[in-house]
Amino acid sequence: MDNIFDEQYPNVAWWCQGQGWIELGRDEVSTSMIRVLDIEGLLWEGDGRYETVDEALSEADEFIEQWRIEHEHTPQ
Summarised one tens digit per residue, pLDDT across range 28-60 is 888 899 999 999 999 999 999 999 999 999 999
Residue 75 lies in a domain: no
Instruction: Identify the CA nearest to 64 among candidates 32, 40, 35.
Output: 35
61 with 12: CB under 8 angstroms?
Answer: yes
Residue 60 lies in a domain: yes
Residue 21 lies in a domain: yes
Looking at the structure of the chain, the number of domains it has is: 1
Residue 25 lies in a domain: yes
Domain span at 20 = 4-70
Residue 76 lies in a domain: no
User: Does the reported pTM lie above 0.75?
Assistant: yes
Q: Is residue 35 classed as helix, strand or coil in its secondary structure? A: strand
